Amino acid sequence: MKTHILMQRTLEPLEKYLNTKGLVEVIINKPGEIILETKNGFKYIQDNSLTLEYLEGFAQQLATTVNQKFGEYHPILSCTLPIYNYRTQIMGKSVVDTNFAMAIRCASANIYPLETWFDEKEISILKNAILTKKNILIAGGTSSGKTTFLNSILSLVPHEERILTIEDAKELELPQPNVTRLLKSKMGTDIAKTTYAHLINSAVRLRPDRIILGELDIDNTLPFLRVLNTGHGGSMATLHADSVDKSIEALIMNISLAGAGGNERAIEKYILNALDIIVHLKRIDRVTYKATLKELN
């Protein structure tokens, strides 16, 4: 594909960084400097080839390759970096004081065993919930390990099942052979302007055994919960929230902000009907991650 060849060329100045061993994240706060994060912390590197002109050209080529836009009128780009398959967030002129900022999440998709987070009893509850197709919400702050945990439980989904995913960047690891991955730009910068409701309704018609949603937000919470409440078991999604209780509050807030407000008790009941289990994750330090499991109903 022509765009891929152009993308490869555009990536050249970044290649040596992207191929660093044990890389967790590549960060650019401003032109001329790149920061490599590994488990040992941040390493700052001055690189004069990373000019604003190069970085903006890179973002434009990336946007073109993934059918999005980047530029004066579209200064925010969220997508998957081709070739590497890393989640990438870019902020351009007018939304960042340095005119360019970028974070590429490179963490190798390590599949951790459930023992990383839980004791035997909780593991048996979770395994049973996965096999009996309960709906599971994974909540936590930024970098608390939500995606990592979701990948870990996805690895336990039977390979006979057909999985439909909806993500803004390809972060999920799916060992199952029968998978369709739908992509939704978070910023509405995709050329086709598809909405979450379009994709969620399409997912239902694509014969899923399970629907997995990368991250719940204002636009997708209600359509997703509606699918769960119409009998689609085995679904999973992640959510930014500080605790189990705050997860329910955050979902109510998402629904209200989407304009479907009303009786809060009724909304809460709707949410509790849709979900069976909430796992809340917390990062204590670079190597310690904690989880709380709560069964609803």
Ligand X SMILES: Nc1ncnc2c1ncn2[C@@H]1O[C@H](COP(=O)(O)OP(=O)(O)O)[C@@H](O)[C@H]1O
The reply to whether 143 sits near ligand X by the rule CB under 6 A is yes
The reply to whether 144 sits near ligand X by the rule CB under 6 A is yes
Q: Which of ligand X, Mg ion, none does residue 186 bind to, with CB < 5 to 8 Å depending on kind?
A: none
Stretch that binds ligand X, among 104-112, 173-181, 243-251, 267-275 (CB under 6 A): 104-112
The reply to whether 224 sits near ligand X by the rule CB under 6 A is no
Q: Which is nearer to Mg ion, 170 or 210 (CB)?
A: 170
The reply to whether 189 sits near ligand X by the rule CB under 6 A is no
Binding test (CB under 6 A) with ligand X, winner from 8, 51, 116, 243: 116
Binding test (CB under 6 A) with ligand X, winner from 31, 145, 208, 214: 145
Binding test (CB under 6 A) with ligand X, winner from 65, 80, 147, 247: 147
Stretch that binds ligand X, among 5-13, 66-74, 145-153, 192-200 (CB under 6 A): 145-153
Binding test (CB under 5 A) with Mg ion, winner from 65, 88, 144, 147: 147
Three-state SS for the chain is CHHHHHHHHHHHHHHHHHCCCCCCEEEECCCCEEEEEECCEEEEEECCCCCHHHHHHHHHHHHHHCCECCECCECEEEEEECCCCEEEEEECCCCCCCCCEEEEECCCCCCCCHHHCCCHHHHHHHHHHHHCCCCEEEEECCCCCHHHHHHHHHCCCCCCCCEEEEECCCCCCCCCCCEEEEECCCCCCECCCCCHHHHHHHHHHCCCCEEEECCCCCCCHHHHHHHHHCCCCCCEEEEECCCHHHHHHHHHHHHHHHHHCCCHHHHHHHHHHHCCEEEEEEECCCCCEEEEEEECC
Residues in contact with Mg ion by CB under 5 A are 146-147
